[in-house]
Structure 1
Amino acid sequence: MTTTARGGVDVRAKTYLGLFAITLATLMYEIALTRIFSVTMWYHFAFVAISVALFGMTIGALLVYLLPERFRDADVKRHLWRSSLLFSVSLAVCFVTQLAIPFSPHGTLVGLWSIAVTCIVISIPFVFSGIVVCLALTRFPGRVNRLYAADLIGAAIGCVLLVVLLSRLDGPSSVIVVGALAGLGAVAFASDAGSRRGVRLAVGVVVVLGGFGAFNGYLHSRGNPFLRIIWAKEAPDVKHRYEKWNAFSRVTVDGFENVAQPPAGYGYSTKLPGDFRVNQLGMVIDSTAGTMLTRYTGNPAETDFLRYDITNLAHWAKPHGDVLVIGVGGGRDILGALEFGQKSVTGVEINNNILNITNHKYGDFTGHLDRNPRVKFVNDEARSYLARTDRKYDIIQISLIDTWAATSAGAYALTENSLYTTDAWKIFFDRLKPGGVLSVSRWYELSYRQKPLETYRTTALAAQTLKERGVANPRDHILIYHGPEYSVGLNNVNTATILVSPQPFSQATRTTIAREAQRLEFTPVLTRREAVDPHFAALTSPKGPGAAVKAFSEDISPPSDNRPFFFQMANLHTFLSGGGFRDDFATRPVLVLGMLAITVLGLAIGCIVVPLLLTTKRTAHRGMRPFYTYFAGIGLGFLLVEVSQLQRLSIFLGHPIYALTVVLFSVLFFSGLGSMATERVIRADRPTSMVVPLIVLLGAVAAFGVLTPAVVHGMDAATTPVRIATAIGLLAPLSFLMGMPFAIGMRVAASRPGAPTAFLWGINGATSVCASVFGMVIAVFFGISIAFWCGFVAYAMAAGAMAVIARSRPDRAVVVDEAVVAPPEPARIGAVGAQA
């Protein structure tokens, strides 16, 4: 069956196919940008890509609304294929342009200019995508539910397809291929419009972009791509010895195998012989987080330098034991355990590319540690693995695990955050043998900080976890030492190691650690009898860390799964005291998020208020206030629920890839199915049928919010397939219902002659932009649960607005082709034509 637009244009299968391809490419490009931004900028700027994408699409919708003479109903299909083609071409052109823009994250005029230009450039393709989606969803009211389903299902398939694409190609090549996929949408729309010229142009674009993307990917695999990253973290990116991408990292290897040099690291004792040399290669994740590949032939003398590293302090007290290393990297901590003669070493690494580089690509260099009978490698998220295994260890080691990398879920979930929560540490403690030690190494002092904030927060985390386990005096269970300072560029850095045990440290352990620390000239930070400053003593007092935490302007509170943002140390108090405006890693992410929140709020207001003021036909807005409230409510509600559950379930699923493919795919796919079901739910002769789905949705959101934390906590030890099935089971019914409100609202709005449907789509997009940012603001400052319940409030607001709309609907509305369409005004009958 076909239906028609307001200008009498048929909706055919090619219309659905074109929209499917455009939204598929849109989400792929949006997520790919978060991956690119995590490499070229700092990881917290990756989140900007999501907001800019939504904002660009909203601008596209507003152009449709503000330029009705240009986007006439009779020309809708011509505009669909042309805008799709412009989306495809501009995607490639703007991406190449963005790569050439130097990036500066600092609050200078140059820094602000680079950020502004970057945002403007990357938003251009999304403007054309927004035009396509807006036209498709507002000019075919009789099939808005099915078109919206094609929109959401295309996006759902796109998030899965990008994971596959990034496992085969590098980031830049993948983006160009995405441009080719967008061109397929233009082919479908041009064919639907009967434009042979359009089909030829679109096919040409698909061939050129697809061929170039594939060829550049081939060149990349040979180490000499034509298109590559130009700027990375404020500096020109160099040609790398080896480079490999996936959906949540870019890993590069550099250096010279046969050049001996002093061991790389920031925790070595001053007693390390100055003439010690080792062959190493540098492995870097997303241009920032480094680890070393070390030449190893099995000769213990090659790794003697690791006996001088403060990160290996626990090995002195617990020799000949079973060790688990979280974050294998280049195998340095594995070698450390072998150097100390540990009985067995299990290395858990979330990134398969790192394991392949360490054990296969450079396996001959590293000594093929995976073939050592005492070593076992596991490709998994450590917390998930430990929750499932029954094995217990003498030492669990976490050494400077901070990738500074945004996942392809859009920086909503940072993989290392799940390791630094009280919930995670309870699991770690449960997997320690009696007297076992959790060894965590973090930065102690960095030149741009006045306080050892990371060490403070790790101490608070340890003390809080111990208190929740019933420990009376946490200080008896904690030992902290730091190493000497090292110069890194203009910064001076040093490392602290925090040793924590569920049982009080024995006198023998304390004596051994103190003796070796003194010999190696490591400085005691916290022991039973001394503390380097009163803050460490207060954080580990019998009363718990609460009072000491409140004394800080920075946020050093113990993270939990509800607020897992270990590295975000700016809170409201920080900003009120002026400390939030320092340019450092502790406050910059939250500062950027706050600035972005203010910016998008201003832009959203501008996108809603300004069009109202500019509209000359003010009668079009008469009686539409409930619709504005409704579309704002569902825009806020959908994104707030999605963002919060993406964060929560990514921890539960245990891998960022699962967060992307399971959570985003489930939300979008089942929302699409819900949209398709809308035509079977609402009836023009029953106004209550428009309200009932909203009431049911509110009940489902409430049930989801209450049940999900309990289900997640109760299934910590479930296998990965069971977790995935559980997540889908939780998300499917809720997402199905979340897919209905937009289609219901758009069909009801279309029943009103002259209703500004494009403007309603723009309101929905503008509030979605706000929700994408404010959802993270709320989660960072107040917790994921609060962000979720804010989504519930937004949906309640929408339900109230729909109740008002249902009571005020004109009785003369009729149903035509299963769509609610009001009889056209007599003066418009001839111009509009038959509506079917």
Structure 2
Amino acid sequence: IVDSLVKETGKSRESVAKHVMVIEDRPGLYFGRSDDNQKYYPILVMIKSTPFIDKEVTMVKEKAEANQAEITMLADNYVPAPFNKLFNNDSSVYGEYFSTTVASNPTIPTDDSPFYFAREQIPKQMIILLVTVMAISGLLSALLIYHARKTRVKFDSRSSFHVLFAIFIGVGFMILEVTFIQKFLLLLGTPILALTVILFTILLSSGIGSYISGRIFSTRPHGAVLTSIPILAGIIIIYFLYLQDIIESTISMELQYRIALTFGLLFPAGFLMGFQFPSLIKMASLIALQNNKNKVVVQYDNYRGGSKNNNNTTLLWGTNIVASVVGTVLAALLAMIIGFNGNLLIGLCMYLGAGMCALFSIYYMMKNNRTTVSIDGNL
């Protein structure tokens, strides 16, 4: 609040103190009660575009005292320690206060970790939720394994890379999606609007990406992965470095422009994220790789008339869904620990892991088929 006032008014830190009053909101709603005799009241922060006058300050003070509300700040009339350091023109004093506060209270809410009501870094509710989700995911995984054995799905070393690929992109996709929703909530203003715009953009762009990858890389699924993931990694790094600055510099734009900006920023990432799963299905279906007169020939299990033993589509779909569910919970949990900016890096690592799985998969197939494929070949 202090930084925003300084930036918007162009005044010094000492001067903007006249624009702020902070009191306990009694007898307002209370929350976080641990027993019948303990109440936690919200904090009411009042900000005015012009300085509060003495009459207004006196009125607020009298009402607060009448309701036994704790007074934190009354404009520049009353600014107790340590909050007085926030309104000190000496930047070193302000920096010392901020760094000390963050170090002593890792749960302090910020735009990067806006968990206002978390009284501990990892609340017990989140641990219970994670354990519950992991238990359900374990049960679903057991059903997938049972189905794979019952249908006699062929499972070899290459298949293990495909399963890992499905896990990586499932967790990575959800971590990035949840992070995008939170990040662009600052730009779009309301959770409903942010959820609507971001889900629309991600689903549309990933759907288009899935279609385009099938058209361009119809016989080169590994090529689709190894082309798209490095570009996606670059985009995520740009988000990590510059997204917050972009949001802060455009937050005052008209709503329609902010929606268009959100769409434009997210579409490239969603487009490339859409490449991955269709490519995985084709990689899993790839059963032959041969050089025929210097031409690479590929065959897919899907197109053979008989056996389905090499087709792990059901297993991969199920694995990806389970990983996505776990990824949703992990996104919130990790944000409490490392922040949503950190989540961007976790999502990046997930997709890089998927890329490594694709490399090992094609290496394993080339080794088993004793086939040499040039870099400019069809893979």
**Counterparts of residues 733-744 of structure 1 (less than 5 Å):** 733-744=268-279
Structure with max Cα Rg: 1
Aligned to 1:607: 140
Pairing partner for 1:796 from 352, 374, 378 = 352
Pairing partner for 1:516 from 30, 46, 62 = 62
Is it true that 1:448 corresponds to 2:26 in the alignment? no
What is the CA-CA distance between 1:621 and the residue it aligns to?
Answer: 1.5
What is the CA-CA distance between 1:729 and the residue it aligns to?
Answer: 0.6
Which structure would you say has the larger RCO, counting Cα contacts within 8 Å and 6 or more residues apart? Answer: 2
Aligned to 2:209: 674
What is the CA-CA distance between 1:630 and the residue it aligns to?
Answer: 0.7
Q: Is the 8 A contact 1:539 1:549 kept in 2?
A: no
CA gap of 1:602–1:722, structure 2 versus 1, over 3 A, is: same
Deviation per residue, 1:508-534 (Å, 9 max, x gap): 579836873587464554469999xxx
Aligned to 1:437: 19
Deviation per residue, 1:204-254 (Å, 9 max, x gap): xxxxxxxxxxxxxxxxxxxxxxxxxxxxxxxxxxxxxxxxxxxxxxxxxxx
Deviation per residue, 1:536-568 (Å, 9 max, x gap): 74455554155456556xx652x2221122223
* Partner Cα distance (2:193, 2:32) in 1: 37
Pairing partner for 1:635 from 170, 178, 184 = 170
Is it true that 1:544 corresponds to 2:102 in the alignment? no
CA gap of 1:537–1:625, structure 2 versus 1, over 3 A, is: same
* Partner Cα distance (2:255, 2:112) in 1: 21
Q: Is the 8 A contact 2:161 2:361 kept in 1?
A: yes
What is the CA-CA distance between 1:681 and the residue it aligns to?
Answer: 2.7
Q: Is the 8 A contact 2:24 2:69 kept in 1?
A: no
CA gap of 1:714–1:432, structure 2 versus 1, over 3 A, is: closer
Please state whether the residue corresponding to 2:322 is helix, strand or coil.
Answer: helix
Q: Which amino acid aligns with 2:124?
A: L
Please state whether the residue corresponding to 2:97 is helix, strand or coil.
Answer: coil
Pairing partner for 1:650 from 185, 198, 205 = 185
Is it true that 1:426 corresponds to 2:4 in the alignment? yes
Q: Is the 8 A contact 1:631 1:760 kept in 2?
A: yes
What is the CA-CA distance between 1:717 and the residue it aligns to?
Answer: 1.8
When normalised by structure 1's length, the TM-score is 0.35
| Structure with more of its chain in helix, by fraction | 2
Is it true that 1:758 corresponds to 2:292 in the alignment? no
Is it true that 1:773 corresponds to 2:326 in the alignment? no
Deviation per residue, 1:159-189 (Å, 9 max, x gap): xxxxxxxxxxxxxxxxxxxxxxxxxxxxxxx
What is the CA-CA distance between 1:649 and the residue it aligns to?
Answer: 0.5
Please state whether the residue corresponding to 2:129 is helix, strand or coil.
Answer: helix
Deviation per residue, 1:95-130 (Å, 9 max, x gap): xxxxxxxxxxxxxxxxxxxxxxxxxxxxxxxxxxxx
Is it true that 1:786 corresponds to 2:342 in the alignment? yes
Q: Is the 8 A contact 2:164 2:354 kept in 1?
A: yes
* Partner Cα distance (1:689, 1:496) in 2: 52
**Counterparts of residues 245-256 of structure 1 (less than 5 Å):** none
Q: Which amino acid aligns with 2:239?
A: F
**Counterparts of residues 490-501 of structure 1 (less than 5 Å):** 497-498=44-45
What is the CA-CA distance between 1:505 and the residue it aligns to?
Answer: 8.5
| Structure with more of its chain in strand, by fraction | 1
CA gap of 1:728–1:604, structure 2 versus 1, over 3 A, is: same
Pairing partner for 1:564 from 108, 111, 114 = 114
Q: Which amino acid aligns with 2:363?
A: R
Q: Which amino acid aligns with 1:664?
A: L
CA gap of 1:544–1:501, structure 2 versus 1, over 3 A, is: farther
Q: Is the 8 A contact 1:675 1:743 kept in 2?
A: yes
Please state whether the residue corresponding to 1:621 is helix, strand or coil.
Answer: coil
Aligned to 1:621: 155
* Partner Cα distance (1:786, 1:682) in 2: 32
Deviation per residue, 1:608-662 (Å, 9 max, x gap): 3564478367772112111111111111111111110011112111133321221
What is the CA-CA distance between 1:440 and the residue it aligns to?
Answer: 5.0
* Partner Cα distance (1:549, 1:704) in 2: 24
Aligned to 1:406: none
Deviation per residue, 1:732-757 (Å, 9 max, x gap): 11111111100000112122452322
**Counterparts of residues 157-172 of structure 1 (less than 5 Å):** none
Aligned to 1:716: 251
Q: Is the 8 A contact 2:197 2:259 kept in 1?
A: yes
When normalised by structure 2's length, the TM-score is 0.72
* Partner Cα distance (1:613, 1:491) in 2: 52
Deviation per residue, 1:121-168 (Å, 9 max, x gap): xxxxxxxxxxxxxxxxxxxxxxxxxxxxxxxxxxxxxxxxxxxxxxxx
Q: Is the 8 A contact 2:24 2:71 kept in 1?
A: no
**Counterparts of residues 239-388 of structure 1 (less than 5 Å):** none
Q: Is the 8 A contact 2:225 2:355 kept in 1?
A: no
What is the CA-CA distance between 1:777 and the residue it aligns to?
Answer: 1.1
CA gap of 1:427–1:758, structure 2 versus 1, over 3 A, is: farther
Q: Is the 8 A contact 2:221 2:280 kept in 1?
A: no
Aligned to 1:809: 365
Q: Is the 8 A contact 2:225 2:358 kept in 1?
A: yes
* Partner Cα distance (1:515, 1:711) in 2: 40
Root mean square deviation, CA, Å: 4.0
Q: Is the 8 A contact 2:187 2:251 kept in 1?
A: yes
Deviation per residue, 1:764-792 (Å, 9 max, x gap): 11110111111011123321111121111
Please state whether the residue corresponding to 1:783 is helix, strand or coil.
Answer: helix
What is the CA-CA distance between 1:719 and the residue it aligns to?
Answer: 1.1
Pairing partner for 1:663 from 176, 198, 204 = 198
* Partner Cα distance (1:515, 1:659) in 2: 38
CA gap of 1:663–1:441, structure 2 versus 1, over 3 A, is: farther
What is the CA-CA distance between 1:716 and the residue it aligns to?
Answer: 2.0
Uncovered stretches (5+) of structure 2, i.e. residues with no partner: 86-92, 288-300, 302-308, 372-377
* Partner Cα distance (1:640, 1:668) in 2: 15
Q: Which amino acid aligns with 2:164?
A: T
Q: Is the 8 A contact 2:24 2:44 kept in 1?
A: yes
Aligned to 1:233: none
Deviation per residue, 1:284-306 (Å, 9 max, x gap): xxxxxxxxxxxxxxxxxxxxxxx
**Counterparts of residues 519-530 of structure 1 (less than 5 Å):** 520=66, 522=68, 525-526=71-72
Please state whether the residue corresponding to 1:563 is helix, strand or coil.
Answer: coil
* Partner Cα distance (2:32, 2:219) in 1: 67
Q: Is the 8 A contact 2:144 2:318 kept in 1?
A: no
Q: Which amino acid aligns with 2:121?
A: N
* Partner Cα distance (1:773, 1:607) in 2: 16
Uncovered stretches (5+) of structure 1, i.e. residues with no partner: 1-421, 451-488, 573-589, 814-819, 821-836
Equivalenced residue count is 329
Q: Is the 8 A contact 2:23 2:44 kept in 1?
A: yes
CA gap of 1:556–1:807, structure 2 versus 1, over 3 A, is: closer
* Partner Cα distance (1:670, 1:726) in 2: 15
